[in-house]
């Protein structure tokens, strides 16, 4: 049935990818990657436009996935997807929601898991959109640039390149988030010290 749906969407070209990418953030169990690649293979000169279509549709669908999680909870995920995907994504979210979204943009886990989980766990929607925009841009545009640059021969490169991006890009992203968290903690600690000093000074004057 899934193959039939993909074949049906393939006939609609960019609009099919738009529908697929939009649904990928909400309900469809197969990542948009599986439609973007064959469409890019058919017409490599339009690969970047296809990447843009898929990217925009995914971001438009993200708030709807978030709303499903907010209203229906995690139970809806277990009805649609593999339990190990959901458990793995939940563990990632509990450790660091921002990192989970960024990493989830590169993994085979369907992106809807992260949009719905964001709603379930009350992760701020604006943060979800920011990190989804970063991660999904890489996912869509790497494929688009490969096909645009190398034509049909890019088909054999896609899996290797996306793997390398995951192995190299994810540690860099995690390092960036770690540094950001350290700076934020240091700033909060400094602000707390200054606030305590101000209170002590006021008490001394009052005394």
User: Could you tell me the residue ranges of all domains in the chain?
Assistant: 2-206
What per-residue confidence (pLDDT) applies to 124? 87
Q: What is the mean pLDDT of each run of 10 residues along the chain (207 residues)?
A: 82 93 86 90 94 94 90 75 74 72 69 82 86 85 91 82 62 67 73 61 57
pLDDT reported for residue 172: 64
Each as own residue / partner, the long-range contacts of residues 189-198 (CB below 8 Å, 24 or more positions apart, any chain) are: none
Beta-carbon count within 10 A of 130 CB: 13
- Residue 15's pLDDT is 95
């Amino acid at each position: 049935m899934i193959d039939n749906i993909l074949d049906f969407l393939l006939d609609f070209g960019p609009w099919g990818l738009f529908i697929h990418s939009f649904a990928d953030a909400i309900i469809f169990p197969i990542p948009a990657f599986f439609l973007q690649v064959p469409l890019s293979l058919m017409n490599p000169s339009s690969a970047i436009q296809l990447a843009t279509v898929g990217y925009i549709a995914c971001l438009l669908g993200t708030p709807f996935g978030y709303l499903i999680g907010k209203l229906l909870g995690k139970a809806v995920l277990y009805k649609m997807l593999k339990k190990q995907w959901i458990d793995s994504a939940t563990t990632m979210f509990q450790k660091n929601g921002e990192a989970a979204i960024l990493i989830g943009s590169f993994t085979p886990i369907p992106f809807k898991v992260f949009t719905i989980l964001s709603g379930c766990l009350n992760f701020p929607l604006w943060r979800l959109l920011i990190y989804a925009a970063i991660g999904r841009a890489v996912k869509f545009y790497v494929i688009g640039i490969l096909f645009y640059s190398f034509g049909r021969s890019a088909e054999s490169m896609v899996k290797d390149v996306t793997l390398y991006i995951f192995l190299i890009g994810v540690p860099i992203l995690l390092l960036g988030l770690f540094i950001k968290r350290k700076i934020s903690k240091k700033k909060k600690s400094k602000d707390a010290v200054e606030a305590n000093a101000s209170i002590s000074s006021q008490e001394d004057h009052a005394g």
